[in-house]
Amino acid sequence: MNINEELEIQPRLFDPVSIATIGSAVVGAFGAIENTLSNVRSREYLQAMANDISQMKIQLATVLSELDELPVTIRSIIKEEVSLAMLSDKYIELESIEITAYSLMEDSTYVLSERAWYRSCYLLRYICNCENRLSYIPDFLRACEIIMFISNSGGKDIVLRNVEDKYNLIEPLYKDLKQSCIEAISELTSYLNHPEFIKSYYFDEVSLNVDGIKYTPLPDKNTVETYSYKECYWVTLPAEGEISDKPGHKNPPMLKERRSVTKTGKRTVDSAVRFNHDKNEHIIKIEAFKSTAKLALKKFRDVSAVIELLDKYRSKLILQNDLPLVLKVEENFTNFE
């Protein structure tokens, strides 16, 4: 099996509650980046997106917490731990710009102010660079959607650049986890394919379903064997000749004969003891490698789903028609420093 090939073509085998399932529901058809949407529909879309994200975080708190523990590589690249409170402030500030935009859009002459635009771009950049929690990818995408909405899709290039940078930020983690999967599956397969201890095994190399692995170990060898041996003893035979107690009579000497009898016994077979011990240790290692491979595959598939979600969004952006961004400072939309 070319495990590298298998992992390339099977990234969708994530758990039902993985981030891909969440992202698919949250992002949906990416309606807000289509300029045909009305202000009302766009607002409803973004609100529904926020509601879905909140509900997802309540229902899948444990799963998402585990997912957030993965980006060690990302954090080592950033070289800085960012306060979650500061991140929260940035999300809130972007939301406030969105709300202000809603109210101003009631005026048909609405255009985005330059100061508000630059501030919005800064907030998106901050979230892109500092949001290391993979469970917050939907929040990041919603921030992108807000930028697309308030700029009437004119900020596509900036959003696209941030999405690509986020993708590139996660990609090293994706590659590390992929390599871990390759090594874990390779090690597991080598232990299964061990005729000295394993009679046969089944492993679906297409789905890489570790739970479906079946194998038949060779039977234990008997550690005790029966053996036969001869036990010798002496038998006194009758003397040949006359035996008398008369004075001067010399009796013939007594005769002895060595005889033997065959008996059976039991003894430990050291080679069988070693075989059974080594085989049991081999099986323990197989089970350990199964657990390692299963965990590695889960992590890889979850991060693959995040990568896939970003790639899907990026593709949607690329296909979106360009619209010019008209910048004009408006007196009632300049309070964002």
What are the domain boundaries of the chain?
3-192+300-333
Tokens in use for 279?
A: 């085989």
Give the pLDDT confidence of 35-92 residue by residue, as tens digits: 444 555 666 666 676 666 666 666 555 555 665 665 544 444 444 455 777 888 889 8
Say whether 235 sits in a helix, a strand or coil. strand
Give 299's contacts (C-beta < 8 A, 6+ positions apart): 70, 177, 180
Tokens in use for 170?
A: 């996660």
Alpha carbon distance 56, 17 (integer Å): 10
Alpha carbon distance 145, 138 (integer Å): 10
Q: Is 325 left (phi over 0), alpha (psi -120 to 50) or beta?
A: beta
Q: Which of 311, 289, 304 is nearest to 13 (CA)?
A: 304
Residue 66 class from Cβ within 10 Å (0-12 exposed, 13-18 middle, 19+ buried)?
middle
Say whether 86 sits in a helix, a strand or coil. helix
How much is the pLDDT for 86?
A: 83
Give the pLDDT confidence of 148-158 residue by residue, as tens digits: 888 877 888 89
Nearest 5°: phi and psi at 91? -60, -45
**Would you mind telling me the total number of residues written for the chain in this entry?**
337
Tokens in use for 205?
A: 């190399």
Give the pLDDT confidence of 55-66 residue by residue, as tens digits: 666 655 555 566
Q: Which of 170, 129, 107 is nearest to 305 (CA)?
A: 170
Give the pLDDT confidence of 279-307 residue by residue, as tens digits: 999 999 999 999 999 989 988 888 888 88
146 close to 46: Cβ distance less than 8 angstroms: yes
> What string of pLDDT tens digits covers the 337 residues of the chain?
444 444 442 333 233 344 444 454 444 434 434 444 455 566 666 667 666 666 666 655 555 566 566 554 444 444 445 577 788 888 989 988 888 877 777 665 666 778 888 899 999 999 998 888 888 888 898 899 888 888 877 888 899 999 999 999 888 888 988 999 999 999 999 999 999 999 999 998 888 899 999 999 999 999 998 888 888 888 887 777 676 677 767 777 777 888 888 888 888 899 999 999 999 999 999 999 999 999 899 888 888 888 888 888 888 888 765 443 333 333 333 333 3
Say whether 79 sits in a helix, a strand or coil. coil
CA 203 to chain centre: 18
